[in-house]
Amino acid sequence: MARELLRFSLPALRQAASKRGLPVAQRSTRAQIACLLVRDKLLRDAETLYARGEAGYPARDSAYGTVCDAIGTRGKGAILDIGCGPGLFAEELLRSRVLSPAGAYLGIDPVRGAVELARARLSGDPRFRFEVGDAEAPPADGPVDCVLLLFVLSYMDTHAADRVLRALQRKFAGAILVVALTLRSAFDRKLGAGDDAGDADELRLYLAGHLAGRAPAVWDPTRFECYRRCFDACYRLEAEETLPGPEPQVLWIGQPRTELPRATR
């Protein structure tokens, strides 16, 4: 979507941002303003859906069990879930009994409607809290053992993803990071590529490493590979798993690095 906005001039993008009341820095580029406009549209659309009592994004129930297993084997008791949505994963965490009786969970999301639904869903368990918050300014009001970024990283442009991962590494130097990505949302379709029924198969082959050294026919992996470089710059990969489900998905688990290199993007 942001790529489509790059057809417009810088003054036109600035005007669109101004109409929406979005603050734009003097030296912002066309790409940065386009990403800002896309983020604003996603948030507005999500608020509309949640106001009707609907989940803004589809559930990834088939993957949640694997994520719970990954957390449980590492004995993490204080969890920060960034981009928690309406509490679907938190509900799975409750059902799985991964969170210990003395554990604590804080979910943050920029969409107020999502937070309200999550609070209602988990209202009977005081271990679960939900707040309106931004990934680029995560709260640091207590110890955190595990940070979750489940199916949210690909909604960020690569610059924002780099800033978020660096902020997490600095604030929660002792916490593991768990990232889940759906490849379809982390890749961009190549210009002119049709709606090919084999899209998912191509993504699975890429994830399996069979397409190493040659470009996929339908998908451009540049953005996905940038997310991975940003992750590797801030965290040492401890485990990588393919998640179950109809869509190709991947799980990364990392330990924070002691030092950060210069920004990758």
Q: Which residues of 70-91 are buried (b: 16+ CB within 10 A; e: fewer)?
A: bbeeeebbbbbbbbbbbbbbbb
What's the whole-number average pLDDT of the chain?
Answer: 83
CATH class of the region 61-187+214-256? alpha beta
Task: Give domain limits for the chain.
Answer: 2-51, 61-187+214-256
User: What value does the mean pLDDT take over residues 136-144?
Assistant: 79
**pLDDT value at position 45?**
65
* pLDDT at residue 127 is higher than 80: yes
How does residue 140 score in pLDDT terms, banded at 50, 70 and 90? low
pLDDT top residue among 74 and 196: 74
**pLDDT value at position 143?**
86
Q: Does domain 2-51 have CATH number 1.10.287?
A: no
User: What value does the mean pLDDT take over residues 8-35?
Assistant: 75
SS3 (DSSP) at 23: coil
Residue 10 backbone class (left: φ over 0; alpha: ψ -120 to 50; beta: rest): alpha
Q: How far apart are CA 60 and CA 40, in angstroms?
A: 24
Q: Which of 3-7, 24-28, 163-167 has the lowest mean pLDDT?
A: 3-7
For residue 44, give the H/E element and its range.
helix 30-51
Supply the pTM of this predicted model: 0.81
* pLDDT at residue 56 is higher than 60: no
**pLDDT value at position 118?**
92
**pLDDT value at position 122?**
94
pLDDT top residue among 260 and 90: 90
Q: How far apart are CA 21 and CA 38, in angstroms?
A: 14
Cβ atoms of 121 and 86 within 8 Å: the answer is: yes
Q: How far apart are CA 129 and CA 258, in angstroms?
A: 30
User: What value does the mean pLDDT take over residues 68-79?
Assistant: 84
Q: How far apart are CA 145 and CA 253, in angstroms?
A: 13
**pLDDT value at position 50?**
65
How does residue 265 score in pLDDT terms, banded at 50, 70 and 90? very low
User: What value does the mean pLDDT take over residues 96-113?
Assistant: 91
Structure tokens given for 254: 């990392």
pLDDT top residue among 204 and 236: 236
Structure tokens given for 162: 């780099």
User: What value does the mean pLDDT take over residues 50-69?
Assistant: 72
Cβ atoms of 115 and 90 within 8 Å: the answer is: no
